[in-house]
Amino acid sequence: SVAEDRSPKFPIPANVYAEKIVSVTHYTDHLFSFRVTRPQSLRFRSGEFVMIGLPNAEKPVYRAYSIASPSWDEELEFFSIKVPDGPLTSELQKIQPGDTLLLRQKTTGTLVLDALTPGKRLFMISTGTGIAPFASLLRDPDTYERYEQVILTHTCREVAELKYGQELVADLANDPLIGELTHGRVTLYNSTTREESPRMGRITALIDSGKLYTDLGIAPLNPETDRVMICGSMHMLKDVKELVESRGFEEGSLNHPNTFVVERAFVG
Which parts of this chain interact with ligand A2P (CB under 6 A)?
Answer: 127-128, 155-157, 193-194, 202-204, 232-233, 235-236, 239
Nearer to ligand A2P, 30 or 121 (CB): 30
Nearer to ligand A2P, 30 or 35 (CB): 30
Distance between CA atoms of 229 and 110, rounded to whole angstroms? 9
Min dist CB 124 to ligand A2P, Å, is: 15
* CA 17 to each of CA 13, 24, 79, 105, 110: distance values in angstroms, whole numbers, following the listed order: 8, 19, 19, 7, 23
Q: Is 90 exposed, middle or buried (0-12, 13-18, 19+ CB in 10 A)?
A: middle
Nearer to ligand A2P, 76 or 212 (CB): 212
Closest by CA to 46, choosing from 176, 140, 182, 141, is 140
Distance between CA atoms of 182 and 99, rounded to whole angstroms? 34
Nearer to ligand A2P, 187 or 233 (CB): 233
Nearer to ligand A2P, 158 or 167 (CB): 158
Min dist CB 156 to ligand A2P, Å, is: 5
Distance between CA atoms of 248 and 150, rounded to whole angstroms? 20
Distance between CA atoms of 215 and 231, rounded to whole angstroms? 22
Min dist CB 24 to ligand A2P, Å, is: 21
Nearer to ligand A2P, 20 or 194 (CB): 194
Min dist CB 205 to ligand A2P, Å, is: 8
* Residues β-bridged to residue 34: 24, 78
Min dist CB 248 to ligand A2P, Å, is: 20
| Radius of gyration for the chain, computed over Cα atoms and rounded to the nearest angstrom | 19
Min dist CB 239 to ligand A2P, Å, is: 4
